[in-house]
Amino acid sequence: MADVKKISKKKPRAHIRETKGNKVFDVVNVILMTLFALIIIIPMWNVVISSFAGKNAGTFVFWPKELSIANYIQVFSDNGIWQSMFISVAKTVVGVVFHLFLCSIVAYALSKRDLKGRKLYSAMGIITMFFSGGMIPTYLLIKSLGLLNSFWVYILPAMFSYYDMVILMNFFRDIPDSLEESAKIDGASDWRVFFSIIVPLSKPALATIGLFHGVWQWNDFMTTKLYVTNEALYPLQMRLYDIIVQAQAAASNGLNAQISIATTSKGVQLATIVVTMIPILVLYPFLQKYFVTGTMLGAVKE
């Protein structure tokens, strides 16, 4: 992180003499990068503004004929969406807390190089990174654990991640031992040292892992699709999926026969998309701060 900042603050290095070729390069570069950014931002703008376009949703590129919040009124008048929002928030918050707690206590113990059995534990973890049982064996396991249609299916299987644990472990190793030793001399136990010294010093690392796991929890719909059939436990993503797939099925069958199936209007679909997206957009500025730490810690230090 520090390195990146240093370089970006560095004065442009072409202080000798701008050649003509370099100027052309710079101009072309700025134009192409502007285009690239527009290709990303225009379609998203189109969806967001469409959700405010009442019945005209999705029939223009930049600006609708009229703006209205009718679609949102309809979205929020459905009790199901409030239930789903509650589930989404609950699974994200509970998921992050459990994930951080479990990964960080394991990381603290494994950051001690004299821990007995450390090699065995690491070997087990590395195996889990390269091999997995896949969809069907995992489904049968979840079923036999009685986790089908349970809120805990969102939390327990995702609770531990060896990859996230390694990131935290590397961070803990950089904390000077002297801090812990003085606490140990005063008679503090390992748990005590962990909670009162390690955790407060590791806020940036914990925030990185917590944010990335939170985004994953919020976005995850596969867990619901595979293991949950009870609508009361549907998070927003799953509700949105149902709306989209129903409308799609109607559209593709409608080609063959003129059957009318009651589906959600385009405007309401788009408003639901925006509602589902908002938490990510709100978290995004915070996430951005941890982009580089998050990816570099895991990828390079291993």
Partner 1 sequence: MKLRKHQKRPLGVRIVDWGKSWGRQWQLQTMVLPGIISMIIFNFIPIYGLSLAFRSYSVTSTMASAPWVGLENFKIILKDKYFWESVQNTIGISAIKLTIEFFLPIIIAIMIFELKWSPFKKLVQTITYLPHFLSWIILGGMLITWLSSNGMLNQILNMIGIATKDNHILNANSYWSIASLSDVWKEAGWGTILYLATMSKIDPTYYEAAEMDGASKLRQIWSITIPEMSTIISLNLILSVSGLFNSNLDQTLVLMNSQNQPKAEVINSYVYRVGLTQGDFSYATAVGLGVSIISVVLLIITNTVTKKLNDNQSVL
Residues of span 185-244 touching partner 1 by CB under 8 A: 189-191, 194, 215, 218-222, 225-226, 237, 240-241, 243-244
Q: Is 288 in the site for partner 1 (CB under 8 A)?
A: yes
State how far the alpha carbon of 8 is from the alpha carbons of 3, 4, 5, 25, 297, in Å: 9, 6, 5, 19, 20
Q: Segment contacting partner 1 (CB under 8 A): 66-74, 75-83, 176-184, 290-298?
A: 290-298
User: Which residue carries 């889990």 as its tokens?
Assistant: 128
Q: 68 forms bridges with which residues in the sheet?
A: 53
Least Å distance, CB 222 to partner 1, is 6
Contact 290, 159 (CB under 8 A): no
What is the footprint of partner 1 within residues 106-145 (CB under 8 A)? Answer: 106, 108-110, 112, 115-117, 121, 124-125, 127-128, 131-141, 144-145
User: Nearer to partner 1 by C-beta: 73 or 140?
Assistant: 140
Please give the backbone phi and psi of residue 228, each rounded to the nearest 5 degrees, phi first.
-125, 125
Least Å distance, CB 140 to partner 1, is 6
Residue 41 burial class via C-beta count within 10 angstroms: exposed 0-12, middle 13-18, buried 19 and up? exposed
What is the footprint of partner 1 within residues 243-262 (CB under 8 A)? Answer: 243-245, 247-249, 251-253, 255
What is the footprint of partner 1 within residues 45-74 (CB under 8 A)? Answer: 46-47, 50, 57-61
CA distance 59 to 234: 30
What is the footprint of partner 1 within residues 4-33 (CB under 8 A)? Answer: 4, 6-10, 12-14, 16, 19, 21-22, 25-26, 29-30, 32-33
Please give the backbone phi and psi of residue 111, each rounded to the nearest 5 degrees, phi first.
-75, -15
